[in-house]
Amino acid sequence: MKKSELIEKIAKSASKSTKSEVSKKLVDLILSETFETIGKTIKKEGKYSYPGFGTFTKTKRSARKGRNPQTGESIKIKASKSIKFKPSTVLKGKL
């Protein structure tokens, strides 16, 4: 699903629920702020949980050796940070 499709679905659903028009621009703003806040929380606290959906956790990957698949040459891969997602049992049950 693309971002525009998500915005459209949320706007339609919200319009039905509130029985008044909810603009796509407002939904886009709310979604952008939501994901911005989630990202900041993960960066600051190391994790973000949303009940019924799952938990995002900041992880560290240590430096390691790898191989260039084209040449087979050994390369050094730098340490990095990543995010891991663990779905809740409720979300797993819906799949």
Domain ranges of the chain: 1-13+22-45, 47-95
At residue 93, the pLDDT reads: 93
**Whether pLDDT at 16 is above 90:** no
Residue 35 carries which DSSP code? H
Burial 4-20 (b: 16+ CB within 10 A, else e): eeebeebbeebeeeeee
Selected from 3.40.1280.10, 4.10.520.10, 1.10.10.60, 3.60.15.10, the CATH number assigned to the domain covering 47-95 reads 4.10.520.10
The pTM score is 0.75
At residue 66, the pLDDT reads: 94
User: Given its phi and psi angles, is residue 46 left (phi above 0), alpha (psi -120 to 50 degrees) or beta?
Assistant: left
Range 25-30 average pLDDT: 95
Q: What is the pLDDT of residues 42-61, one digit of tens each?
A: 999 999 999 999 999 999 99
